[in-house]
């Protein structure tokens, strides 16, 4: 059976944070990005950034989670559901990690942000995370360490509209 995916804000009555990391190009460049939408699917803010001297996708994914949760906290959002399509990053954060992990400090900072009441981290499939993927790729192609987008870039607007309309996409990872 085919499985269809859509961006979904119906699971929680709160602000939705979608995040993603990206490594693109040759030589590979790492970037991250994400956006916060209100319960109706309207973009509140977005962000993107470049990680110099790295092609580590786990670092990019964790950096996206960290910056997204920090921005949500700084904006005063009390209830936030964060979605990432990286099971590796989610499991790294949720599992007990060694204090000797290469990203131990970053993981610890994320755990502090997640310890706030009503802040949660969830997995989504890639097809439901297209807007964050767009911003992560934008970050990887820039030279800016962190850029906030008070208005969505023009090329992101059609993706936001598609999500807000509840468009379904075929899950390409499911067996057909």
- 109-124 pLDDT, tens per residue? 999 999 999 999 999 9
Give residue-wise pLDDT tens across range 86-109.
Answer: 999 999 999 987 888 999 999 999
The pair phi, psi for residue 149, each rounded to 5°, is -115, 100
Percentage of the chain beyond pLDDT 70 is 94
Determine, yes or no, domain membership for 79: yes
Q: Which domain holds residue 94?
A: 11-160
4 within domain boundaries: no
How many folded domains does the chain comprise? 1
Mean pLDDT value across residues 12-40: 92
Instruction: Say whether 101 sits in a helix, a strand or coil.
Output: coil
Mean residue pLDDT of the chain comes to 91
In a domain, 135, yes or no: yes
Measured between alpha carbons, how far is 58 from 32 in angstroms, rounded to an integer? 10
Distance in angstroms (rounded) separating the CA atoms of residues 45 and 152: 7
């Amino acid at each position: 059976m085919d499985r269809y995916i859509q961006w979904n804000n119906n699971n929680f009555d709160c602000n939705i944070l979608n995040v993603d990391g990206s490594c693109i190009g040759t030589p590979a460049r790492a970037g991250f990005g994400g956006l916060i939408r209100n319960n109706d699917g309207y973009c509140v803010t977005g962000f993107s950034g470049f990680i110099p001297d790295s092609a580590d996708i786990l670092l990019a994914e964790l950096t996206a989670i960290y910056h997204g949760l920090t921005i949500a906290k700084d904006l005063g959002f009390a209830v936030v559901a964060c979605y990432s399509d990286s099971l590796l990053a989610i499991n790294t954060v949720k599992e007990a990690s060694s204090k000797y992990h290469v990203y131990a400090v970053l993981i610890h900072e994320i755990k502090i942000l997640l310890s706030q009441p009503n802040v949660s981290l969830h997995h989504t499939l890639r097809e439901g995370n297209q807007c964050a993927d767009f911003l992560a790729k934008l970050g990887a192609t820039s030279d800016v360490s962190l850029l906030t987008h008070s208005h969505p870039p023009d090329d992101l607007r059609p993706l936001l509209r598609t999500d807000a309309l509840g468009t379904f996409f075929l899950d390409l990872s499911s067996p057909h």
